[in-house]
Amino acid sequence: MPFRCLLTDPPLIAQLSAFAQENSFPDLYRAYSWRNDTYANGFPDIYRLESRLIRSDRTNGITLNDVKAVAEWGSMRNQGRIRGPAVVAPMNTLHTVAGTAVGTLATYPLVPLTLIQTHLKGIGPTYLSKVLRFALPQEYGAIDTRCVRVFGRGDPGAHRHDWLALHARNDGYGWYISKTQVHWPNEYEVWINILRHFAAVLPSNCPHPPAFAQGGLRQQGTWECADLEMALFSYASDHT
């Protein structure tokens, strides 16, 4: 179960609660599709990357090769530009020795992102957030351009909800989230707390593929931040 939601904006909380009542998160989760990762397939590549990055954080640290594996999964443009040291986050950046989430992340979830960002070149907000999403799915979800276009700003044609001040841009080469904008990375913390809100208000009915519970990556039915992001990605995909 994710940490407690820290949102204090009543209009935003009301919007989120209305969204939760108007949409079926289990159906949105089942509708998630990215390349080989479908519900019918059991989300095999997501399972593989979660297992890999969780293990890395708990043993030798998250590596540059881990980051490159996430970039390959997401079909990132210009993957060859990714540069950094062999280890971009030391052991137990996200997990305690006992395997639980580091307690300070409840209040300061951006600390690991800032750390990893200082060590890497050639990678922006979307893939920085994806690294965290795979390394600690309980507490992080990716912030994808589709989600920003629908829940944030930058695409009037796709915009549906005023949850985020974050902007997505398309300068003719595809959509991206600029890390030089004033709302990065603070609006990513808002996104994390939006996911925490849904985890708190939804019933325990996330229909994880069996392998995730059997492999110790999930407690069956419990919504983690990454699961909720997958559901919202499905919603956003229907509107972009």
Write the pLDDT tens digit of every residue in 67-94. 999 999 999 999 999 999 999 999 999 9
pLDDT > 90? residue 54:
yes
Say how many C-beta atoms besides its own lie within 10 A of residue 199's C-beta.
Answer: 23
Q: What pLDDT does residue 173 have?
A: 87
Say how many C-beta atoms besides its own lie within 10 A of residue 83's C-beta.
Answer: 11
pLDDT > 90? residue 213:
yes
Say how many C-beta atoms besides its own lie within 10 A of residue 141's C-beta.
Answer: 29
Rounded-to-integer distance, Cα 57 and Cα 61, Å: 4
Query: What average pLDDT does the segment 204-211 reach?
Result: 98
The neighbouring-strand residues paired with 216 are: none
Mean of all residue pLDDT scores within the chain = 97
Q: What pLDDT does residue 180 have?
A: 96
Inter-residue long-range contacts of 105-112, CB under 8 Å, 24+ positions, other chains counted: 105/3, 105/136, 105/139, 106/3, 106/4, 107/6, 109/3, 109/139, 109/140, 109/189, 109/192, 110/185, 110/186, 110/188, 110/189
